[in-house]
Each structure stands twice: as structure tokens, then as C-alpha cells.
Amino acid sequence: MKLSNRIALVTGGTSGIGLEVAKLFRDQGARVIVTGVDQTRLDAASRELGGGVLVLRADLRLAGELDKVFDQIRQKFARLDVLFANAGVGLAATLDAVTEKQIDEQFAVNFKGIFFTVQKAAPLMAKGGSIVLTTSFLNAVGSPGLSILSATKAAVRSLARSLGAELAPRGIRVNAVSPGPISTPFHSKLGLSEKELREAAGAIQARVPLHRFGEADEVAKAVLFLASEDASFITGSEIVVDGGLTQF
């Protein structure tokens, strides 16, 4: 039990990587809080995770809703030991098609939402606390049509370093996990047609040295490592889980 009696918050925890992390944290002894915005997925996640997991609806772009989440954590648990800041959104658009609204939406969730989640979580954390941020292999490669999403993930990678340095004197670690192409519902939310998704998936898979997409549970295991005492001397770092895509 790597997280026995730990209080752990997973944002964006109702599907894909976030849901797998919530299940793994639960199975490793943590008391888990999950947030999401889509009510259908919230209900499904609540059924899958069981009654011992607190599932909350919260739009992390809104400071007031973030405050409500941390008020509930403070009242129910009085502390937070682990934060997996995973909520994110991505929209595909070529240079000529990118709009101000698309930029604002992606930075609001992927950067501002993560930053303020960490800001509000930190006062509840003590020495030994662990924060894990979700970045992406896109922060290390150029990918046509994904310039804004990639920029947000590069910004989060920078946050892992700067916030890690800021929180290190308090004994709180900040790291990142960088998923490569993973079989999750995230890709279906990029705004591409089914044909475009199939073509993009085929092109990406052909470039992965391990010749497959990863699975959400493979990323979850890396997150568990960073969240646990197994990674007690690691901070400011990024674990890349991409089948070697950005390494060779």
C-alpha cells in the first residue's frame, strides 16, 4: 500500500488517465477526491470508483469552483497529501484557423487551471506532500495543428520546475508525467473528424518505437511512483511515458 491513509486529489479524474490514476490511488490505500465537469462521466466514475471516493463537479477555470473543492477537502479531511493536476483540454487547428477563443480556452484549463489548483492545494499540504502535473510529449516535439495545446503543455513543464523550486523548502515535491500517444477519450475531443483521427493515429503509431499506443494504466503507474515515497528524492522532474517517441 504505497499511499496508505493519504488524502489524494485527482483533477480531470472521470475518464482516461485521470480515472485510472484515481482507481490505482484508491487501491493503494488513499482516500481519493476526483473532479470533473461532465455530469454523465461524473456519474459513471462515481459508480466505477465506489462510495469511498468523493466525486465532485468543478470547472477548474472558475476560481469560485476551485475554492469550493478545497473548502470541502479542508472540512472533510483537514489536509491534502497528494495532488494529481490532470484536467486538460485540447483543440486541433492549423495556424491560419486558430482563434483567440481557442487560445483562451486551452490556456484557461491547461495552464491557469493547473496553476491555481496548485496554489490552492499547497496550504493544505505538509512536508512529504507530492504534486504531479500532466504535461505531454508535445512539449518536446513539433506537431502541425497542435501549436496551442503544445504551448500549454510546455508551460506546465516549466511550472513543474519553478513550483518545485518554490515548494522544496517546505518538503513538498512537484513533478510531471508526460504521456505520449495513449488510448484514451482525449483524442476524440480534439475537434477532428473520425477520418482525420484515424489518419493521425496511424501516422503517430508508425513513429512510436514500440509500435503501439500506450494504455492509461501504464501512465497511472508512473504517476503512482511520483506520488509515493518511492520518489522521495525526485522533484522538478518529468517522467516520459511515450514508447520512446521523443527519445530516438
Is the sign of the CA dihedral 172, 25, 77, 46 positive or negative?
positive
pTM for the whole structure: 0.93
Q: Three-class SS string for 38-62?
A: CHHHHHHHHHHHCCCCEEEECCCCC
CB neighbours of 179 closer than 8 A, spacing ≥ 6?
A: 17, 134, 136, 137, 214, 219, 241, 242
Is the sign of the CA dihedral 213, 90, 192, 21 positive or negative?
positive
Rounded to an integer, the average pLDDT of 176-193 is 76
Residue 130 DSSP code: E
Q: Identify the CATH homologous superfamily for domain 7-241.
A: NAD(P)-binding Rossmann-like Domain (3.40.50.720)
The answer to whether the beta carbons of residues 35 and 87 sit under 8 Å apart is yes
pLDDT of residue 247: 92
Ordered by start, the domain boundaries in the chain are 7-241
pLDDT digit string, tens, across residues 64-111: 999 999 999 999 999 999 999 999 999 999 999 999 999 999 999 999
pLDDT confidence of 219, banded at 50, 70, 90? very high
Distance between CA atoms of residues 6 and 227, nearest Å: 10
pLDDT of residue 190: 64
pLDDT confidence of 192, banded at 50, 70, 90? low
pLDDT confidence of 186, banded at 50, 70, 90? low
pLDDT of residue 200: 73
Is 31 exposed, middle or buried, given 0-12, 13-18 or 19+ CB atoms closer than 10 A? middle
pLDDT of residue 196: 74
pLDDT of residue 188: 53
> 114-121 vs 63-77: helix axis angle to the nearest 10?
30
